[in-house]
């Protein structure tokens, strides 16, 4: 495997990881901590929205995020022909 | 049948199950012993990881902690789940590709240094022992409350069970017992939560009940809760008292610490493939999330139930509070354990529960004729007493006991295993006797595990005063020492031996020093803690619980700067990094 191919694969990987980490940060630290008061003025299914993100929503998003990453990464492996047999 | 007999039967059969599994899956090779022969399916590994991760603290203490902290309790919810995202995206697949046995082994090989490996072993042993002491204590407490045997006996029984399946079965044995333990603990956690959710809101799903209206009142549970806690002088349930920066740092330290905990990382060495490691992290977090999204619901409902029991009428009215003579049975039972205490300060024979540390509520309390808070409730009983408070049948209570023990034992076993692997594989084989035979290494692993069980039992029996404080330390340490060097080892080829060692030591010493300064750990004889542990004195307003974030940042900065000032890692190391970045085995060309 030559250097260019390796680099292309690694860049695709980093882009995906970067995207997922931005979502991870925004949904937990953003909605649950930094902007919690602003969001608390919005009601969502009986909850204050900021509080809901801090105690429920962020956790659901974390779970979805890992499944999304695993699915997308397996595709990237195949596209770059580096997947396991 | 009496509750005690029923509990004996339920707990006893769960033990028989664990030991049966251990005998069926005992280890024959070092590969079996350290990483279950790399043959665990991603789904089973997800369950085992969830049980490994969710300790006595998650099962017994967390909901109670949240019940009293309200919004501030979110740091634990986000912190102890968000770390799995970091683990899945940044560490697990690459460490699986590396394909060896332990975390210090990766650090030692990637940084071509025995010193780095030894530093990693020291961090690992410290982190793991602090943790395991708490687990053993948890087993003892559950035994003494539900089976009415002394804490010491509970401890001995718990140690024996762990001893049998960790020493005999190694990683293979604990993996399959953890799968069983997960099923026991999650069932035991959710069943009472569902019953209570139905009682309070008529919605059977705790995650939704938490936002629903209280039966017959037309007010949402959380609004009602905010209302009643503030009328008793407590801070509003849905908002916090900690500063923004502190909440941020504690959450981050717990997340990064989670991703850096060796007993969690090593679970991802046990699956057959790189892609299994990725999906397995997803399953693990899914199984963890079932408990972690139920816990805040349980917390809020438990707080509501508790206040409702005590504050039976209007706040401040002469007959607004529960008369002590009319207290319910569960109050009585838990009073006997000393975990619920009543002290009739104003001598009116009624129980007053309010925030007597709140100066702006003091005038009102005086006007009501209250002379201080009269009820103290240990937060740990919130989950354990929940079934009794809700009047659930005895089999549910017995199940909760078995669940608490399962949570504690599964975590203890995982920790003991990484300790024994660090001793037999990293120290004995890696450093002192490199040409030890496999048979002898396996024997050394078993002896180390047996020895670790004894030390853990001793720590649980006679916990040094600092056990409770060091949990924060364990996370801070994992965040500040192990996580950065593993991450850099994968994502930054230029980082070398000198950088890694300097980085780990900086993160370690800074974090340890800060916690010692404000909380006191080992240097109490020399006058520690020296600092006043309040927000005005903290560095940037960051509490010792959250300081791991600064330690981690220092580790990154030092590791990278020192690396650029010294020579780059040898070519074979750079190839190794290229190799772990791709799932398939590759012929690396320049």
- Of A3, A17, A60, which has the smallest distance from its Cβ to B89's Cβ? A17
- pLDDT of B243 reads 82
Is the domain of B394 the same as that of B347? Answer: no
Quick one: B294 and B314 in the same domain? no
Is residue A26 domain-resident?
A: yes
Q: Which of B74, B90, B93 sits opposite A32 (nearest CB)?
A: B74
Clarify whether residues B123 and B39 are in a common domain.
yes
My answer on whether B230 and B364 are in the same domain is no
B342 vs B560, higher pLDDT = B560
Residues B364 and B424 in one domain: no
* pLDDT 10s digits, B66-75: 888 889 889 9
What are the C-alpha distances in Å from B381 to residues B141, B298, B339?
10, 12, 7
Question: Which stretches of chain A drop beneath a pLDDT of 50?
Answer: none
Query: Has residue B524 got a pLDDT over 80?
Result: no
Q: Are residues B271 and B207 part of one domain?
A: yes
Question: Does some domain include residue B12?
Answer: yes
CA dihedral for B28, B34, B37, B40, sign (positive or negative): positive
Q: How far is B251 from chain A (nearest CA, A)?
A: 8
Which domain-ending residue is among B432, B452, B468? Answer: B468
Q: Is residue B104 part of a domain?
A: yes
Amino acid B472: pLDDT: 65
- For residue A8, give its domain range: 3-79
CB contact under 8 A, A24 and B82: yes
Range of the domain at B349: 304-386
Are residues B399 and B331 part of one domain? Answer: no
pLDDT at position B324 over 90: no
Interface-testing mutation among B72, B82, B248, with chain A (most A C-beta atoms within 10 A): B82
Residue B166 lies in a domain: yes
On whether the CB atoms of residues A31 and A58 are closer than 8 A, the answer is: yes
Is A38 a domain residue?
yes
Beta carbons within 10 angstroms of residue B162's beta carbon: 30
Judging contacts by C-beta atoms under 8 Å, the chain B residues touching residue A51 are: 71, 74, 222, 238-239
Residue-wise pLDDT for B11-34, tens only, equals 889 888 888 888 888 778 888 888
The DSSP result for A35-53, as a single string, is THHHHHTSEETTEEHHHHI
More confident residue, B77 or B532: B77
Q: Based on the domain organization, do B49 and B60 belong to the same domain? A: yes
* Domain co-membership, B363 together with B453: no
Are residues B335 and B457 located together in one domain of the fold? no
Most trustworthy range by pLDDT among A58-62, B185-189, B509-513: A58-62
What's the pLDDT band for B4 if we cut at 50, 70, 90? confident
Tokens of B168: 């005999």
Cβ separation B279–A67 shorter than 8 A: yes
Q: Do B584 and A82 touch (CB under 8 A)?
A: yes
- Name which of A2, A52, A62 is nearest B84 (Cβ-Cβ): A62
d(CA A74, CA A59) in angstroms, rounded, equals 23
Domain boundary among B337, B366, B386: B386
Q: Which of A69, A74, A84 has its CB closest to that of B89?
A: A69
- A85 in a structural domain: no
A2 interfacial to chain B (CB closer than 8 Å): yes
Q: Does A51 touch chain B if contact means CB atoms closer than 8 Å? A: yes
> Tell me, what's the pLDDT at B6?
87
pLDDT tops 80 at residue B424: yes
Q: Give me the mean pLDDT over the B352-358 stretch.
A: 85
Q: Is the pLDDT of residue B145 over 80?
A: no
Write out the two tokens for B509. 């010493």
At residue B550, the pLDDT reads: 93
Domain boundary among B357, B386, B415: B386
CATH number for the domain spanning B251: value is 1.20.1730.10
Residues of B in contact with A4 (CB under 8 A): none
Q: Is A40 part of any domain?
A: yes
Asked if the structure places residue B131 within a domain, the reply is: yes
pTM value surpassing 0.80: yes
Residue B291 DSSP code = H
Q: Could you tell me the pLDDT band of residue B540, with boundaries at 50, 70 and 90?
A: confident
End-to-end CA distance of chain A: 16
Q: Check if A47 contacts B (Cβ < 8 Å).
A: yes
Mutate to test the interface with B, among A36, A66, A69, A78 (most CBs of B within 10 A): A66
Predicted local confidence at residue B588, as pLDDT: 62
Phi-psi region of B233 (alpha: psi -120 to 50; beta: other; left: phi over 0): left
**Does any domain span residue A50?**
yes
Provide long-range contacts, Cβ within 8 A and 24+ apart, for B566-574: B566/B496, B566/B498, B566/B499, B567/B496, B568/B494, B568/B496, B569/B111, B569/B112, B569/B493, B569/B494, B569/B495, B569/B496, B569/B497, B570/B112, B573/B110, B573/B111, B573/B112, B574/B493
Total domains in the fold of chain B: 2
Do residues B325 and B454 both lie within one domain? no
Please check whether residues B397 and B432 belong to one and the same domain: yes
Indicate the number of domains in chain A: 1
pLDDT tens sequence across B229-268: 888 888 888 887 788 888 899 899 999 999 989 999 999 9
ipTM: 0.95
């Amino acid at each position: 495997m030559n250097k260019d191919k390796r680099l292309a694969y690694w860049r695709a990987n980093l882009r995906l990881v970067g995207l997922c980490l931005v979502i991870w940060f925004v949904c937990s630290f953003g909605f649950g901590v930094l902007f919690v008061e602003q969001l608390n003025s919005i009601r969502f299914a009986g909850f204050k929205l900021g509080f809901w993100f801090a105690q429920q929503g962020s956790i659901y998003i974390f779970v979805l995020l890992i499944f999304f990453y695993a699915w997308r990464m397996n595709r990237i492996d195949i596209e770059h022909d580096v997947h396991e047999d | 049948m009496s509750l005690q007999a029923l509990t004996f039967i339920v707990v006893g059969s769960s033990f028989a199950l664990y030991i049966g599994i251990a005998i069926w899956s005992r280890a024959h090779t070092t590969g079996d012993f350290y990483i279950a022969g790399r043959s665990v399916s991603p789904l089973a590994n997800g369950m085992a990881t969830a049980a490994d991760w969710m300790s006595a603290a998650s099962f017994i203490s967390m909901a109670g902690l949240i019940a009293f902290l309200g919004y501030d309790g979110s740091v634990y919810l986000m912190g102890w789940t968000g770390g799995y995202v970091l683990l899945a995206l940044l560490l697990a697949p690459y460490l699986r590709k590396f394909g060896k046995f332990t975390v210090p082994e990766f650090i030692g090989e990637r940084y071509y240094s025995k010193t780095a490996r030894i530093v990693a072993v020291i961090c690992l042993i410290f982190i793991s022992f602090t943790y395991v002491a708490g687990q053993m204590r948890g087993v003892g407490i559950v035994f003494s409350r539900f089976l009415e045997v002394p804490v010491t006996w509970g401890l001995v029984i718990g140690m024996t069970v762990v001893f049998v399946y960790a020493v005999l079965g190694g990683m293979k044995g604990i993996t399959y017992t953890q799968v069983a333990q997960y099923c026991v603990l999650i069932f035991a956690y959710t069943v009472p939560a569902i019953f209570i959710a139905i009682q309070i809101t008529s919605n059977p799903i705790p995650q939704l009940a938490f936002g629903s209206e209280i039966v017959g009142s037309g007010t949402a549970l959380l609004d009602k809760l905010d209302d009643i806690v503030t009328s008793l002088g407590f801070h509003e349930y849905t908002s916090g008292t900690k500063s923004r920066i502190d909440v941020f740092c504690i959450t981050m330290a717990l997340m990064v610490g989670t991703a850096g905990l060796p007993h969690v990382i090593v679970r991802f060495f046990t699956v057959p493939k790189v892609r299994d490691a990725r999906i397995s992290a997803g399953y693990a977090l899914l199984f963890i999330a079932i408990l972690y999204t139920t816990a805040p619901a349980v917390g809020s409902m438990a707080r509501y139930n508790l206040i409702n029991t005590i504050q039976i009428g209007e706040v401040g009215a002469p007959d607004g509070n529960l008369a002590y003579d009319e207290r319910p049975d569960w109050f009585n039972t838990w009073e006997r354990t000393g975990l619920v205490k009543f002290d009739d300060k104003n001598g009116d024979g009624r129980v007053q529960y309010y925030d007597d540390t709140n100066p702006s509520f003091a005038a009102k309390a005086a006007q009501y004729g209250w002379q201080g808070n009269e009820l103290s409730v240990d937060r740990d009983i919130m989950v354990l007493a929940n079934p009794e408070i809700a009047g659930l049948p005895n089999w549910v209570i017995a199940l909760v006991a078995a669940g608490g023990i399962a949570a504690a034992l599964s975590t203890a076993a995982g920790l003991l295993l990484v300790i024994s692997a660090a001793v037999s594989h990293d120290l004995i084989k890696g450093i002192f006797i490199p040409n030890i035979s496999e048979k002898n290494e396996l024997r050394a692993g078993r002896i180390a595990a047996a020895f670790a069980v004894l030390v853990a039992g001793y720590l649980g029996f006679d916990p040094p005063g600092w056990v409770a404080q060091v949990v924060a330390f364990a996370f801070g340490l994992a965040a500040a020492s192990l996580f950065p060097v593993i991450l850099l080892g994968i994502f930054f080829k230029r980082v070398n031996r000198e950088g890694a060692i300097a980085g780990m030591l900086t993160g370690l010493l800074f974090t340890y020093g800060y916690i010692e300064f404000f909380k006191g750990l080992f240097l109490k004889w020399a006058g520690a803690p020296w600092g006043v542990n309040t927000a005005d004195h903290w560095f940037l307003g960051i509490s010792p619980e959250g300081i791991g974030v600064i330690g981690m940042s220092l580790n990154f900065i030092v590791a990278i700067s020192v690396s650029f000032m010294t020579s780059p890692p040898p070519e074979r190391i750079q190839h190794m990094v290229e190799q772990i970045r791709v799932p398939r085995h590759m012929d690396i060309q320049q």
